[in-house]
Chain A
Amino acid sequence: DQQVKQNSPSLSVQEGRISILNCDYTNSMFDYFLWYKKYPAEGPTFLISISSIKDKNEDGRFTVFLNKSAKHLSLHIVPSQPGDSAVYFCAASATGGGNKLTFGTGTQLKVEL
């Protein structure tokens, strides 16, 4: 039962353009969402998060949008840079869940020159 889904295993974008990574969830108890970035042979690193009381959070080139009614969130990267090429994981947590995160399967982003 995949409660957090990233339906696009890969995405290719040209440098300077916008990258949009999508994530869907099924558990209505989730109230905190995070994006992690992972390079090969390294652990995931935290990128940006959003609480369910918000619908948008922005940090530099990265913006996360949350649509609670659709149970959908997205990560926008603009402008995309070659160094952004990595696997991006969406994760979700529920209050009272002890800070456990439920992760999606990841989207491999490739930013091409």
Chain B
Amino acid sequence: GAGVSQSPSNKVTEKGKDVELRCDPISGHTALYWYRQSLGQGLEFLIYFQGNSAPDKSGLPSDRFSAERTGGSVSTLTIQRTQQEDSAVYLCASSPRGYGYTFGSGTRLTVV
């Protein structure tokens, strides 16, 4: 597609359940980023994939969060045993290089 695609656009889950969020980056973009925006907060960096290099996971808030990127393309962010504080909009972005991010529309996660 022409842009970064994220699914689902909205997800409501019960506390304690696991969720998977998907990101389809722009074809050919080697870098992929996950950010989240909690209510009233700025975008918070979570994880960054660049080509075949080891991902930068320095922003993941706890070991309940993990992400993978298969074949240098699609990425999945997994949150295990969700908590209410995980409620946020999760944004994925990709770039060919540098800071030229293109963001997806995000997944709004609500943990009830």
On A, residues with C-beta under 8 Å from B are 2, 4, 6, 32, 34, 36, 41-46, 49, 89, 91, 93, 98-106
| Interchain CB contact under 8 A, B105 and A46 | no
Q: Does B109 contact A (CB under 8 A)?
A: no
Q: Judging by beta carbons under 8 Å apart, are A101 and B99 in contact?
A: yes
Looking at the assembled complex, report how far the CB atom of B4 sits from the nearest CB atom of chain A, in whole angstroms. Answer: 7
CB-based contact A102/B45 at 8 Å: yes
B71 at the interface (CB under 8 A from A): no
What residues of chain B have their CB less than 8 Å away from a CB belonging to chain A?
4, 31, 33, 35, 40-45, 48, 50, 56, 59, 91, 93, 95, 98-106
Which B residues are CB-close (under 8 A) to A103? 35, 42-44
The contact of A89 among B42, B50, B59, B98, by CB within 8 Å, is B42
CB distance from B91 to the nearest CB of A (A): 6
* Chain A positions within 8 Å of B91 at CB level: 43-44
Establish whether residues A46 and B43, one from each chain, have CB atoms under 8 Å apart when the complex forms: no
Do B105 and A100 have beta carbons less than 8 Å apart?
Answer: no
State whether A105 touches B42 (Cβ < 8 A): yes
Report the minimum CB–CB distance from B103 to chain A (whole Å). 3
